[in-house]
Structure 1
Amino acid sequence: MTPLSIPGFTEHRVRVADDVALNAAVGGTGTPVVLLHGFPQTHLMWRHVAARLATDHTVICPDLRGYGASDKPAETGPDVYSKRTMGRDVVRLAAALGHDRFVLAGHDRGALVAFRAAMDHPEAVSGALFLDVLPTLDMWEALRGVSAGVGFHLYLMAQAPGLPEEMIRASADRFFGHFLDAWTKDPQAIPADVRDHYLTASAAAVPSIVADYRASAGVDVDHDTTDRDAGNRLAMPVTVLQQDWGAALGFQAQDLWSAWTDHLRHRTVSCGHFMAEEDPTLIAEEIRSLTTR
């Protein structure tokens, strides 16, 4: 399914559950890092970062469950696409490839999976990087009033099965393309062939993408709430890079993240949402620094 690839990387298909195998591009040698893509993308979003890291790290770039060339199980219950389940997929993938402990980086949806994996599996995640996202619980609490319009897709895909899938399928390229265009400061960062790849992959995964978002309005909130009420925090070094969108939406992102960890490095960056493609040198440096913290 993947017409484009990361040069020098080999794609593997690894079973992580009875009914799910993940597609993962693997390259390089050295300390392992796992990179999780966001919406509406695939592992290809890491192509520039992965190439830089592969000079001294083993780099694992999977398509998340329900995305890209990975399996897309039917949404038979709320846990199928919970971030707890998807995080467990990632830990099992790394273990199957011979890595019981690794640095984990995630962007957008992948950052939510990385957050849950780091909360649930601190023995496996030695450091975590989160790109341009808030933890699920904080995201829902922060969005309010007219400013919440930037997250209209969150509310659409939170609806019961049927309507959101039908509406998105009716104009899939326009729906997914809207985010690729609106969230990018440098249009050249996502060239036409890569953009087409993302649109094709997303159009083929509408039910599972919606299920992923639906879980974030339900079971994922429950899991975050349980951890917050129990005072559970991220035990490993954490780096968060975000655009300067917190003040515009009426909250300070750094303060929200600080509630989840005592080991926070927070930076505001000038590029757009798709920062791994707009400034891959910066992102690679931040990931590499986590391997030594």
Structure 2
Amino acid sequence: MTSPAPALPGFAYHRVRVAEGVSLNAAVGGTGPAVVLLHGFPQTHLMWRHVAADLAADHTVICPDLRGYGASDKPAEAGPGTYAKRTMGEDVVALAAALGHDRFALAGHDRGALVAFRAALDHPAAVTHLACLDVLPTLDMWDALHGASAAVGFHLYLMAQPPGLPERMIGADPDGFFGHFLDVWTKDPDALPAEIRAAYLDACRTAVPSIVADYRASAGIDVDHDRADLAAGNRLRMPVAVLQQDWGAALGYDAAALWRAWAPDVRHTTVTCGHFMAEEAPAETVKTLRNLLA
């Protein structure tokens, strides 16, 4: 007998239409001011299981699977806009509104942080607070990667290629590809129990084209959007918290300074753990979010 898919205990699951032909799977729990939590790669909303349980004590916590991931819809890539972070950010605003929240705090990890960043820039009236975990803004990320140190981001370059080759290569062994990141980006393997790791791989196995399209957008249209905002002087005007591994110096740049260029009111802190900090260091992650929301 097949075991049921893991779920967030005490959370109700909804399927919410956010755009033409696109509905998101979202877990919703708690009561109080709304907080939307966006997962990263190669994960689903389950990455927030510890953090969401804590925040739900006094917040309405909304944990969706992003467009193209998990149990959410995965529209075919019809052009660069299908998986632009602007489009995915609009999904999030529509999701919150459909659940009755025109204003909400927003936190994202990895890919979800890029969606959150774009949503906050594009919809400042909706996003009251912003938290970004272990990522740089897209434009800064590409500028920061250079020389031999860029090898850590080989997947960024692979999935930036035109449609066809990356999908075939990754699709030939999706468990090997996605499992690689779950293994090498984790300092504490126990933070990803077997059933959670299996759920991530199951979700990614059926989402290769949409995940590649998400990354491909970040090598094109997302850069264009960031560059246009930078030139226009658009900045994040809400309170912003950034929590990152202590990897900035090792890669040759000042991560805090890069973030300050985008967010005048930013609190940048580091934590000693692997990439999956909401699972490896949930107490520190909760502290960062609660300090921001306070």
Does the TM-score normalized on the shorter chain lie above 0.5?
Answer: yes
Contact 1:2-1:68 within 8 A present in 2 as well: no
1:186-223, Cα deviation, whole Å (9 max, x unpaired): 10000111000000100110000000000000000000
Deviations 1:76-117 (A, max 9, x none): 110000000000000000000000111100000000000000
**Offset at residue 31 of structure 1 (A):** 1.1
| Helix, strand or coil at the partner of 1:276 | helix
Aligned twin of 2:176: 174
Which amino acid letter does the alignment assign opposite residue 31 of structure 1? P
> What is residue 253 of structure 1 aligned with on the other side?
255
Q: Percent identity?
A: 73
Does residue 1:159 correspond to 2:157, yes or no?
Answer: no
Q: How far 1:291 moved relative to its partner?
A: 2.0
Matched to 2:180, the amino acid is H
Counterpart in the other structure of 2:100: 98
Q: Which residue identity does 2:12 align to in structure 1?
A: T
For the residue of structure 1 that corresponds to 2:37, the secondary structure is: strand
Given candidates 262, 269, 289, the residue that maps to 1:287 is 289
Aligned partners of 1:18, 1:2: CA distance in 2, in Å?
A: 30
1:130 alignment counterpart? 132
Deviation of the 1:286 alpha carbon: 1.7
Matched, 1:184 2:186: yes
| 1:54 alignment partner, one of 53, 56, 60 | 56
Normalised TM-score (structure 2): 0.98
Aligned length: 292
2:210 aligned counterpart, secondary structure: helix
User: How far apart, CA to CA, are the structure 1 residues paired with 2:113 and 2:25?
Assistant: 18
Q: Does 1:78 align with 2:111?
A: no
Secondary structure at 1:78 match in 2 = coil
- For the pair 1:270 / 2:272, whether they are aligned, the reply is yes
- Consecutive unaligned residues of structure 1, counting only runs of 5 or more, are none
Which of 19, 26, 47 does residue 24 from structure 1 map onto? 26
Contact 1:118 1:128 in 2 (8 A): yes
Gaps of 5+ in 2: none
Amino acid at match of 2:42: P
Q: In structure 1, what residue type is equivalent to 2:184? A: A
Q: Which residue of 2 aligns with 1:43?
A: 45
User: Normalised by the size of structure 1, how large is the TM-score?
Assistant: 0.98
Q: Counterpart of 1:38 in 2: which secondary structure?
A: coil
- SS of residue in 1 equivalent to 2:257: helix
Offset of 1:2 from its aligned partner?
A: 7.6
